Structures are given as C-alpha cells and as structure tokens.
C-alpha cells in the first residue's frame, strides 16, 4: 500500500531535492525528504560553503524546514545521493533526527542512479541509546 510514509512516495521527492544540492566542493549531491505527523512532506538538499565547516546536510535542512513550519514529529526519512556511496545519515543528522522521531522511525536510503533499490532501516538501529535531555 502506498502511504505518505512509504519509500515509494518519499524517495522520488528526495531525488528531486537532490537536483538542487549546492555541492561544488565535494560534488556529492544529497537530497532528503521527510514526512511529518499530518502527512506533509518537507525536502532538503546539502548546501556547502567556501568555508567548508559551514556546510549543512540535506537531512538537517529538511528537518529544520519542517520545524520552522510548526512540525516536530517525523514519521519517516528518505535520503538519496548521486553516485557512491549510499548516503547513510551522518552522526550529526542521526542525532537531529532523534530529537524529533521515535526509534522505530523508518530511514530509507537509495542512490539517485538506481532509486528503486531502496535500503531500509530505523533510527533506533542507526543511533541506539541516543542522547536526550
Ligand atoms: N552530506 C549530507 O547531506 N548528509 C549526510 O548525512 C552526510 C553528508 C553532505 C555534506 C556534504 O555536502 C557532502 O555530503 C559530502 O560530505
């Protein structure tokens, strides 16, 4: 069944967002799509900077857009990138996802070059014992 949280819905949105990635330094274009509690989808792409450390990942850009729009409950996350390797969320993004999602939140990862091959895991598997205040 196709639901708002299904990978077939989210991965194409992430692929679309990856086309807007600003990645002139790494050349690694990443797109993310997240679905929130009411079924709305927010997207993000990585945005790099000449001052490299200012780069922000696709996942965090998508999550911050959702939070800015008033949403704090993530139901699923999809991340894609062009080429290799698959863009498993970095540690910082895992921690930010954990702020707004339950451990059973699905995380889908795929390549833009083969977007129907989707690997699936959960936040709890990617970041067990996450830090919470
Ligand atoms: N990147 C993401 O967008 N998400 C991740 O989870 C890992 C890395 C981006 C940051 C940088 O622009 C490029 O990938 C190479 O590290």
Q: Where are the domains of the chain?
A: 7-126
CB 77 within 8 A of CB 100: no
Q: Is the CB of 23 under 6 A from ligand 1?
A: yes
Q: Which residues contact 38 (CB under 8 A, 6 or more apart)?
A: 71
Residue 1 has pLDDT above 60, yes or no: no
pLDDT at res. 97: 98
Q: Is the CB of 44 under 6 A from ligand 1?
A: no
Going by pLDDT thresholds of 50, 70 and 90, the confidence category of residue 44 is very high
Return the CATH number of 7-126, one of 3.40.1130.10, 1.10.3720.10, 3.40.140.10, 1.10.3470.10: 3.40.140.10
Mutate to test the pocket of ligand 1, among 30, 79, 87 (most ligand atoms within 8 A of CB): 30
Residue 3 has pLDDT above 90, yes or no: no
Mean pLDDT of the 36-57 span: 98
pLDDT at res. 30: 98
With a pLDDT cut of 90, the percent of the chain lying above it is 95
State the catalytic residue, choosing from 59, 99, 102, 119.
59
Distance 58 CA to ligand 1 centre (A): 7
- Strand 41-45 with 74-81, pairing: unpaired
With a pLDDT cut of 70, the percent of the chain lying above it is 98
């Amino acid at each position: 069944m196709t639901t708002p949280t299904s990978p077939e819905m989210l991965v194409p949105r992430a692929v679309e967002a990856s086309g807007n990635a600003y990645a002139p330094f790494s050349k690694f274009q990443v797109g993310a799509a997240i679905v929130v509690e009411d079924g709305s989808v927010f997207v993000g792409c990585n945005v790099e900077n000449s001052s490299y450390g200012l780069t922000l990942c696709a996942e965090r850009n998508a999550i911050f857009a959702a939070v800015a729009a008033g949403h704090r409950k993530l139901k699923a996350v999809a991340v894609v990138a062009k080429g290799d390797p698959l863009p498993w969320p970095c540690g910082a993004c895992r921690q930010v996802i954990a702020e707004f999602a339950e451990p059973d939140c699905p995380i889908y990862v795929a390549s833009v070059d083969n977007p129907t091959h989707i690997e699936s895991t959960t936040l709890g598997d990617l970041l067990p014992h996450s830090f919470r205040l």
